Amino acid sequence: MLTMKRATISAILVALIIVPPAHATEEPEIDIEALNQCLLEEVKTAGPETTAAEIRDACLIKVQNVKTAASATPDEPDEPADDSPLNDRIEGIKATQELDYVITPYKPNYLMAAYNPDPNNAPFQEAFPDEEIDFNPAEVKFQISFMFPVVHNIFGDDGSLYVAYTNRSFWQVFDSELSSPFRETNHEPEVWLQFSRKKKILGLTSRLTAFGFNHQSNGRNEPISRSWNRLFARFIFEKGHFVFSVKPWIIVGSRDGNPDIRDFMGNIEVRGAYKFDRHTISLMLRNNLQSGFSKGTFEVDWSFPIYRRVRGYAQYFNGYGESLIDYNVHTNTVGVGLAFTDYF
């Protein structure tokens, strides 16, 4: 039995090495010894549904990545590694966005119990003067966010058009006296054109640049209707396991129910994220440059592994604009829950 198993593995190894990938146009230089070792290990552990071609392609990628990392010179320390968190996210998006019945995540998707010691009751008391509105400080906050590619390579080998939708909801699930209503739900569709050419800037590597349009509203009638439209740019940089993004915008069109939203939400958002040992910590800063930093906002997020794809998620928000109904109210909110997708 052992001899037969060895013969079977040897036959598979030979087939894997001799048959080139269908998509290869030229055979790269390969460390055959490392490839054979990888193939042997993969064949031993592969499931019954795994094909020989899948084993071969996986090992070719591993061997080539190891060789690329080993050949990097000290003169190029800032070159993005193939196994960087941002590169993994980019490759993950490429792998899922062309698959049928698969939704590609955009912003983090999470579900958490949140606590705000001073809920904003004023807009609802104004809208419903005959009702006693007193929201519970504890509620459930969740976000659903996904993206979809429309077309790739608009300008030669670069330029992709994307659309996305993000839903962020605040659910008074613990307030039985008010029949557990949704205090606020923000809808945020957007469209953008994205470029992915690499360029060194101030010690960072520019990976992605985007220009697009964003609409956000709470879908309510007056007097609690809130909405705004923005033309935005987004610049994403990386250095090792650190990712940094800058997102400036210009407000355009009408601002229903919130004509002064620029004074509180500002015109730029900066986010930094660092990943280590499957933990991700991110910090978001937002401010109106004309406010003298009197209306600043920051948000700290921490995601950590729990079980397989389910991650723990903790968030602290301090400032203006956690939701559109609270755009002009300073809030302090802390939340703990589960994340199903992350920034990377």
pLDDT (tens digit, 0 to 9) for every residue of the chain, 344 residues total? 444 444 444 444 444 443 444 444 444 566 676 777 777 776 666 666 666 666 777 777 776 665 554 444 444 444 444 568 888 888 888 878 777 778 899 999 999 999 999 999 999 999 999 888 999 999 999 999 999 999 999 998 899 999 999 999 999 999 988 889 999 999 999 999 999 988 898 889 999 999 999 999 999 999 999 999 999 999 999 999 999 999 999 999 988 789 999 989 999 999 999 999 889 999 999 986 655 667 889 999 999 999 888 999 999 999 999 999 999 999 999 999 999 998 87
In this structure, the answer to whether residues 214 and 281 fall within a common structural domain is yes
Please say whether the beta carbons of 323 and 168 come within 8 A: yes
pLDDT of residue 74: 43
- Spatial neighbors of 122 by CB under 8 A, at least 6 apart, are 329
Q: Do 130 and 54 belong together in one domain?
A: no
pLDDT at position 256: 78
Domain final residue, candidates 42, 71, 100: 71
Alpha carbon distances (Å) from 188 to 103, 126, 173, 324: 17, 25, 23, 11
- The pLDDT assigned to 276 comes to 92
Contact 325, 184 (CB under 8 A): yes
Rounded distance between C-alpha atoms, residue 17 and residue 107, angstroms: 40
**Which of the 8 DSSP states describes residue 329?**
S
What pTM does this model have? Answer: 0.75
Q: Do 55 and 161 reside in the same domain of the chain?
A: no
Candidates 287, 239, 291, 232; CA nearest to 265 is 287
Quick one: residue 240, left, alpha or beta (phi over 0 = left, psi -120 to 50 = alpha)? Answer: left
Question: Does 108 lie in the same domain as 67?
Answer: no
Bridge partner residues of 168 (DSSP): 143, 186
Residue 235 β-bridge partners: 209, 246
Whether 284 maps to a domain, the answer reads yes
| pLDDT of the residue at 131 | 87
Q: Which two tokens stand for residue 225?
A: 């209707």
Indicate if 183 and 52 belong to the same structural domain: no
Residues 185 and 315 in one domain: yes
242 bridge partner residues = 239, 274
Among candidate residues 152, 187, 215, 330, the one labeled active-site is 215
Q: Does residue 77 form part of some domain?
A: no
Residues 30 and 152 in one domain: no
Two tokens at 213?
């349009």
SS3 label, residue 265: helix
Which among 160, 169, 217, 282 is annotated as catalytic?
A: 217
Q: Which residues contact 245 (CB under 8 A, 6 or more apart)?
A: 234, 235, 236, 237, 270, 271, 272
pLDDT, residue 254, reads: 83
Please count the structural domains in the chain. Answer: 2
217 is catalytic: yes
Task: Judge whether 215 counts as a catalytic residue.
Answer: yes
pLDDT score, position 48: 64
* Residue 12 belongs to domain spanning: 2-71
118/54 same-domain check = no
Spatial separation of the C-alpha atoms in residues 288 and 137, rounded to whole Å = 28
Here the tokens at position 343 are: 């920034």
In terms of domains, do 189 and 334 share one? yes
